[in-house]
Structure 1
Amino acid sequence: MSAAESAEEPQSGTGQPEGEEAETAAEEAAEKAEETDEPQDVWSARQDLWHHSPGIMLGSSAAIGGSLVAGDQHGVSGGQVVGDVIMGSKTEIHYVGMSGPAYASGDLPQHVLERLTRPFAGCDSFDTALELLRSERVVVLTGTPFTGRRTAALNLLRQAGASPVHILDPDTSLTALAHQLTGSQGYLLGDLITYNDQPLRESHLRSMQEKLVEHGGYLVITAGPHAAFEDTVRTTPWEPPAPDAVLQAHLETMVTEDRFAPLLGLRATRDFLDRKHQLREVVAFARALAAHARGETSAEELERFSLSTVKQQVQEWFDDGTVSLHDKAFLIALAALDEGPYALTAELSDLLYGYLLNIEGGGGLRARIPVFGTSIAKRLQLARARLYPESEHTEWGPVRQTKSAFLDERTPMALLIEVWTGHPSSRPALIRWLKQLAEDGRPLVRNRAAATAAVLAAADLPSAMALLIEPWATARRYRLRLAAANALTLAHLLDAPNIPRILHAWCTSESDRIRWTTYRAYALLGPEIPEQALAALSLAAREMDPEEADEEEARELVESTAVLLLSGVGSLVLRQLADFLQDEQKVRDLALRAFLAACERTEDDAEGARHALLAWQARAAAMPGTEDDRLLITLWRAALGDRTHTALALERLRCWVRQADTDPESEAALADLLSSLAVTGPDHQRLSHLLRTVPGGHGGPPPPVASRLLTALASSPVTARS
């Protein structure tokens, strides 16, 4: 590995063991030596960023992925969701329930039982369980956490007339449970603890039933979806009532009837119920609504309540010692790859787990990851996420994938920000992980690394710049530099501060790597800040030494300008390029090279591939005398009349002629353009020669359209359109 490459590795001291690290480094060095480090062209890189960035980050913005030429411009600039996730004020949420230590086991006071069970919304699964409890005296209620299982269990006992209620210790041995069913009529065993080799058996239930019959008692057992049961054990799945029913049931006990309907009609209430909130969050929101009705909570606090529950859930995940490091790594990976293929998320989460484990173990630990046995359902349940089938964009076309995403689209950003700012000890692992993702051969992975860095930059710009974006921007590898450009672009869309200032300073940096990164960022972000982008790119051209400039850097400068011309702010860029013709030679050359580069680009529509600038030319020609029409012709005349660019300009016209052979609309636009370019006799002769000699497909004779265009050119006066 070269010194430059070694310098790019994070010196955190938290990597793999020495032997393994040396082996991995050798493999990576061999792979890097074999591959050709060529930059991805700006056009396909822009499309990749559009296809593979999180939907919440781009929204309907056409700044990056919009159609070529005059596409709609819809800058997202953060928006309500993103801005609130990053900058939103904190709203305290308190979950009040019966899971506290006072009632972990022992008799539940009657007044507490009545208070907990009074606001209750019934449902079909409750009715089924109640019927079974009355006939069998014991019910096993299974369901996911925070869905109201325990409240339902207490209501089952109350409606069965089982009072008082005794809370059993879940750590009690299954064989000893029956001996504890004496002295009370109602028993609750919450969150049953079982193991695969020690499941709840039919014999356990039978012995419990015998004891319950003796004393006229009832028992409800609640268990998670992954508790172990003997096949013959009958369980009752708990399907909770609808959130709106739960909200109404609790509100009815908190506010007067005249205030009930207005509270349900609030926008904050409607927005809250549209989210997939846990029932404990619904109950907490009911208390917030009641406080609002009493004048204790503002409308703004109600609006923030839903997002605050997301932030609180994220904090719980990372503060909870019972959530394994492996699961926490999966949560982070899911946040970075939300709406991506599940298998990819799982693969990359295992990589992150290894890096995190080395931090916790002080280095020298090798992650032991089970190859099989990891429960997808259990992971997604913990993450409050879902699986769904959807097509994924690839270079070979759409491919059907099984994807995973959080139920609440605000969770990924909240989670990434919490990890980066709330748990800074994880940073060395995250830095190393994101760097490896940014170098990955899969566009989705590379772009999600950039998107993650953008979120971190929006939340903590100084640290993200110093630890992620700047090292990427100065890296030898183009993939890392592209990741830096993508990260800066997305960070600006997330309202990160000072991104235009950073790019302006970088545009004339002494580092050619920094300058390349900046040009690429302007190609992506330029439609959001077109005047600043063009000013910076022209300044870079002015200061570039033609004798010392790297051809790759010069080409990137031209291509970035061409991208801006074919963006949603094309007319503005067109005016500026025309003004550049009056500038010094280096800026004039930038304008003409960018214009001719844009002439080469094609865009697909229902009728096939068309040259984007020729389609623009056709629209402008339909309204002769407009500024776009005049300026396009001005740039064509300048390119044809400049000895440095004449040959390339003629080649672009030949390509347009070949397209016009199968496209009547392009033929009409080209006929009009050629007539406008035949200003003088020499112009007329040069264009006539082009049409007589333009080769057809595969080097054959001129296409039939060339003869028709020649006839149109011959009949046109040798004058310019005003």
Structure 2
Amino acid sequence: MNGRPEPDSPRPTTASAGGAAAAPEPKPAEPAADEAQQAAPAAAAPAAEEREQPQTAWSARRDLIDHSPRTMNFNGGSPSFGGGLVGGNQHGVSGGRVTGDVIMGTKTEIHYAIAGYSAPASASGEIPRTTLDRLAATFAADEEVMADLLERLRRDRVLVLSGARFTGRRTAALMLLRRLAAAPVRALVSDTGPSSLAEQFATEEQARGYVLCDLATRRDRPLREPHLLAAKDRLAERNAYLVVTVGPTAVLEDVPAVEWRPPVAADVLRAHLDAGPDPQATAKLLDLPAVTEFLERGHQLREVAAFAQLLTGHAAGSVTEDDVSQFSLLSLEHQVQEWFEEDESAVHLRDKAFLVALAAFDGGPYALTAELSDLLYRFLQETENPARVPEVPVFGTHIGKRLRLARAERFEDDEHTEWGLVLQQKARFRDERASLVLLRELWTGHPSARPALIKWLRQLADDGRPLVRTRAASTVAILARTDLPSAMALVIEPWATSQRFRQRLVAVNSLTFAHLIGTPNIPRILDAWCEGDDARLRWVAVRSYGLIGPERPAEAMAALRGAVRRLYDDKPDDLDEAMAGELAEAVELLLLSPASDQVLAELREHLDRDRAVHDLALAGFVNACRRKEDDARYGTPLVLAWYARAVPGGDTAARGIPHLWRAALADPRATRHALDVLRDWILIADRATATEWALAALLPTLVTTPAEHQRLSHLLRTMPGEDGNPPPPVAARLLTTLPTR
């Protein structure tokens, strides 16, 4: 998809901060939020509704595919969007499943004691030699790096290691001291004041090695070079050494910190297994598929150590293979729970807001994610203290440090915009399951955050950028998969009954995504809305049928036929043309979906049952015939390409497509539109030989009566070329293909 707008598509109301802009639409009235709408004059809502036009179903479906998250994307590892191509393009949505109950259902439980999984660093006191020996037996690191650090420590007596938590900083510090034979080793408490650091090295102490893990610093209490120089003098008097570990956000002034890079997870796992009771089993354990998958997900070293213990138990027969395979997810759930703990010293509220935004915009532009995370941060502050004015720092944590905390990564990739593909700097979790687990934990484990989250999602749903609206929908789908009643009552139904087409469209996408990730009862909801009296809910249901209908085409077509019959019965002389158009667009999407053959058969079977169904079938068919490959002006017509593929094998489409064409050309209500499409096809055929050959095969099948021959021959003889020129040369060639009548 090239992201170019359609005339009736929504126009962005804000700048495209993330590179993902919407297609044009008349600008709706402001403010957009529900609360602001309620406070506005009563006439504002009707005026906004009059001026706003709904985005076409085809354009909306294109945005859905372009901006869906990787866990719900046809191009991802586990498809949700559906597996059929027409004219070489992906279109339509079918029912894959991206996640099972293991991720979206209840939390994983492994009934196995994992000692020391998240054990804190030792408190102040001497570290036993047995502990150092045990760590040395399983230690793995780049020896060149360790040699360089060892030389610096020997020379300077003080070494500051900077790095993220759980990357092996503490173990590396202890191993450096052990290799220097700086024993005994004493651990200092982390809240030791930088200014009192030198006072920790009393002359009467026996220790020759010191380790201070996660030194607590603040802007008003930084670690300065004079602090280290004073410590170095004391250490030199006693022939002792000190290693200090700090986090990426530590406040340092003129301190030469060395960045610690963790060793490769596979090396650490091998070292732990080799040190186990059965080192001969290491190779066999490392070949297990669950081990390969675990190592590919970028787990922390503490998780690798715990996994090694689990594998040792598996080799001894005390741990099942299922426990081994689920350990990776269990580790992820533990990490998410830690992120949302109340302790602000570990993860600040602003960083928690960023984690939530990254879960919603996983794989999206970083700048957009950061922008919208600050919006959520404001709402969370209001929830914590409504009397306080929310504050957002203009300049915050560096992107690299923020992504390390989130166990995420930066990358560059193209983003779909209304101007085509634009290269963007993006961010994503290293583990693609993180967004699903995080949103589930947030919605079910922290209900107090719901008001802020709902307010945030409502604002996203009214954003001018299709990427933002699509991700709001995919986020709500995950919430619905976790707790359908709450998500329906608090988010989806208010959107579905909104006066704003844009908000109703987000409800459509939410239900579509929810169905595709296995949320139960979505078809039942749509059936009830389609049969109900609320016109807005019926609009949402009809749009949704066009997206999830390929999974159950017979049921979807039956629902659409019922809806159009009711439409004609209610006001036969004053037909709701807008709803009739929506129904036709739903049929269009179904015809251009993986279920195209089944839908075509449904249209043929019911074509002459009654006027309502007849009009619906022809309108949807002609709409589908307008669509071209890549939505290009002279792209290959998708239905014509479908016909060309069907003819050699004698497929049912080789008969069904001409049948509907003849019906459309013969119907006074559809003739003009059908002829317009044929003119367009002929102009394309003048530029593309393949289209000319396909059209040359189709046109003779459209002539079974003298009237049909007269209609087509008149078109080919009299149609103008582009810019008012004479008929294109291809028209004369195609005229020769018509049989004489």
Q: TM-score, normalised by structure 1?
A: 0.90
> What residue number does 1:438 align with?
461
Give structure 1 stretches of 5+ with no counterpart: 12-20
C-alpha contact 2:628 2:638 (8 A) present in aligned 1? yes
Q: How far 1:7 moved relative to its partner?
A: 14
Q: Secondary structure at the match of 1:712?
A: coil
> What residue number does 1:168 align with?
188
C-alpha contact 2:167 2:301 (8 A) present in aligned 1? yes
Looking at structure 2, the residues matched to 161 and 197 of structure 1 have their Cα atoms a distance apart, in angstroms, of: 36
Looking at structure 2, the residues matched to 554 and 702 of structure 1 have their Cα atoms a distance apart, in angstroms, of: 34
Q: Secondary structure at the match of 2:411?
A: strand
Range with greater deviation from structure 2 (288-297 or 481-490) = 288-297
Q: Closer, same or farther in 2 for the Cα pair 1:672/1:381, shift >3 Å? A: closer
Q: Secondary structure at the match of 1:319?
A: coil
C-alpha contact 1:603 1:611 (8 A) present in aligned 2? yes
Q: How far 1:275 moved relative to its partner?
A: 1.2
Answering whether residue 70 of structure 2 is matched by residue 44 of structure 1, we say no
Q: Return the match for 1:500 from 511, 519, 523.
A: 523
Task: Please give the per-residue CA displacement for 1:202-237, whole angstroms capped at 9, x wherever unaligned.
Answer: 333333223223223222111122323333x43332
Residue identity in the other structure for 2:717: R
Q: Secondary structure at the match of 2:211?
A: strand
> What residue number does 1:229 align with?
252
Range with greater deviation from structure 2 (512-521 or 693-702) = 693-702
* 1:21-420 map, 5 Å: 33=48, 36-60=51-75, 61=79, 63=81, 67-68=85-86, 75=94, 77-80=96-99, 84-87=103-106, 89-91=108-110, 94=114, 96=116, 100=120, 103-123=122-142, 124-182=144-202, 183=205, 184-196=207-219, 198-231=221-254, 233-322=255-344, 323-361=347-385, 363-420=386-443
Looking at structure 2, the residues matched to 678 and 180 of structure 1 have their Cα atoms a distance apart, in angstroms, of: 99
> What residue number does 2:691 align with?
666
Task: Please give the per-residue CA displacement for 1:166-188, whole angstroms capped at 9, x wherever unaligned.
Answer: 11123223333223213112211
Range with greater deviation from structure 2 (157-166 or 116-125) = 116-125
C-alpha contact 1:70 1:569 (8 A) present in aligned 2? no
Looking at structure 1, the residues matched to 38 and 171 of structure 2 have their Cα atoms a distance apart, in angstroms, of: 55
Looking at structure 2, the residues matched to 272 and 110 of structure 1 have their Cα atoms a distance apart, in angstroms, of: 32
Q: Closer, same or farther in 2 for the Cα pair 1:699/1:107, shift >3 Å? A: same
C-alpha contact 2:164 2:405 (8 A) present in aligned 1? no
Report how many aligned residue pairs link the two structures. Answer: 699
Residue identity in the other structure for 1:698: D
C-alpha contact 2:33 2:459 (8 A) present in aligned 1? no
Residue identity in the other structure for 2:645: R
Residue identity in the other structure for 1:652: V
C-alpha contact 1:81 1:410 (8 A) present in aligned 2? no
Looking at structure 2, the residues matched to 223 and 340 of structure 1 have their Cα atoms a distance apart, in angstroms, of: 30
Q: How far 1:615 moved relative to its partner?
A: 2.0
Q: How far 1:656 moved relative to its partner?
A: 2.2
Q: Secondary structure at the match of 2:191?
A: coil
Task: Please give the per-residue CA displacement for 1:376-432, whole angstroms capped at 9, x wherever unaligned.
Answer: 233222211222222211011111222111121111111111111111111111111
Range with greater deviation from structure 2 (173-182 or 483-492) = 173-182
Looking at structure 2, the residues matched to 245 and 347 of structure 1 have their Cα atoms a distance apart, in angstroms, of: 38
Residue identity in the other structure for 1:657: I
Q: How far 1:372 moved relative to its partner?
A: 2.3
Q: Closer, same or farther in 2 for the Cα pair 1:76/1:410, shift >3 Å? A: farther
Q: Closer, same or farther in 2 for the Cα pair 1:708/1:236, shift >3 Å? A: closer
Range with greater deviation from structure 2 (191-200 or 565-574) = 191-200
C-alpha contact 2:89 2:630 (8 A) present in aligned 1? no
Q: Secondary structure at the match of 2:51?
A: coil
> What residue number does 2:587 align with?
561
Answering whether residue 711 of structure 2 is matched by residue 691 of structure 1, we say no
Q: Closer, same or farther in 2 for the Cα pair 1:587/1:169, shift >3 Å? A: same
Task: Please give the per-residue CA displacement for 1:654-707, whole angstroms capped at 9, x wherever unaligned.
Answer: 222222222233223323322222212232222222222212212332222222
Task: Please give the per-residue CA displacement for 1:621-654, whole angstroms capped at 9, x wherever unaligned.
Answer: 445x542111112112222233332333333322
Residue identity in the other structure for 2:57: V
Q: Secondary structure at the match of 2:109?
A: coil
Q: Secondary structure at the match of 1:610?
A: coil
Identity of aligned residues (%): 49
Looking at structure 2, the residues matched to 378 and 229 of structure 1 have their Cα atoms a distance apart, in angstroms, of: 15
Looking at structure 2, the residues matched to 351 and 145 of structure 1 have their Cα atoms a distance apart, in angstroms, of: 27
Task: Please give the per-residue CA displacement for 1:244-289, whole angstroms capped at 9, x wherever unaligned.
Answer: 1111111222231332221111111111111111101101111111
Q: TM-score, normalised by structure 2?
A: 0.88
Q: Closer, same or farther in 2 for the Cα pair 1:464/1:22, shift >3 Å? A: closer
Looking at structure 1, the residues matched to 149 and 528 of structure 2 have their Cα atoms a distance apart, in angstroms, of: 68
Q: Secondary structure at the match of 2:210?
A: strand
Q: Secondary structure at the match of 1:672?
A: helix
Q: Secondary structure at the match of 1:219?
A: strand
C-alpha contact 2:497 2:536 (8 A) present in aligned 1? yes
User: How much is the aligned-residue C-alpha RMSD, in angstroms?
Assistant: 2.9
Q: How far 1:43 moved relative to its partner?
A: 0.9
C-alpha contact 2:67 2:471 (8 A) present in aligned 1? yes
> What residue number does 1:17 align with?
none
Looking at structure 2, the residues matched to 332 and 215 of structure 1 have their Cα atoms a distance apart, in angstroms, of: 50
C-alpha contact 2:103 2:436 (8 A) present in aligned 1? no
Answering whether residue 446 of structure 2 is matched by residue 423 of structure 1, we say yes
Range with greater deviation from structure 2 (233-242 or 491-500) = 233-242
C-alpha contact 1:599 1:612 (8 A) present in aligned 2? yes
Q: Closer, same or farther in 2 for the Cα pair 1:97/1:476, shift >3 Å? A: closer
Looking at structure 2, the residues matched to 440 and 24 of structure 1 have their Cα atoms a distance apart, in angstroms, of: 19
* 1:623-642 map, 5 Å: 623=649, 625-642=650-667
Q: How far 1:302 moved relative to its partner?
A: 0.8
Task: Please give the per-residue CA displacement for 1:582-625, whole angstroms capped at 9, x wherever unaligned.
Answer: 322211221111111112222239995122222223333445x5
Q: Closer, same or farther in 2 for the Cα pair 1:399/1:638, shift >3 Å? A: same
Q: How far 1:453 moved relative to its partner?
A: 0.6
Looking at structure 1, the residues matched to 384 and 47 of structure 2 have their Cα atoms a distance apart, in angstroms, of: 30
Q: Closer, same or farther in 2 for the Cα pair 1:63/1:538, shift >3 Å? A: farther
Q: How far 1:22 moved relative to its partner?
A: 9.9
Looking at structure 1, the residues matched to 607 and 49 of structure 2 have their Cα atoms a distance apart, in angstroms, of: 44
C-alpha contact 1:82 1:494 (8 A) present in aligned 2? no
Q: How far 1:317 moved relative to its partner?
A: 0.6
Looking at structure 2, the residues matched to 607 and 114 of structure 1 have their Cα atoms a distance apart, in angstroms, of: 72
> What residue number does 2:700 align with?
675
> What residue number does 1:643 align with?
668
C-alpha contact 1:83 1:495 (8 A) present in aligned 2? no
Q: Secondary structure at the match of 1:388?
A: strand
Q: Closer, same or farther in 2 for the Cα pair 1:31/1:430, shift >3 Å? A: farther
Residue identity in the other structure for 1:411: A
Looking at structure 1, the residues matched to 462 and 213 of structure 2 have their Cα atoms a distance apart, in angstroms, of: 48
Q: Return the match for 1:615 from 641, 652, 668.
A: 641
Looking at structure 1, the residues matched to 623 and 241 of structure 2 have their Cα atoms a distance apart, in angstroms, of: 80
Looking at structure 1, the residues matched to 273 and 643 of structure 2 have their Cα atoms a distance apart, in angstroms, of: 63
C-alpha contact 1:85 1:410 (8 A) present in aligned 2? no
Q: Closer, same or farther in 2 for the Cα pair 1:350/1:289, shift >3 Å? A: same
C-alpha contact 1:63 1:524 (8 A) present in aligned 2? no
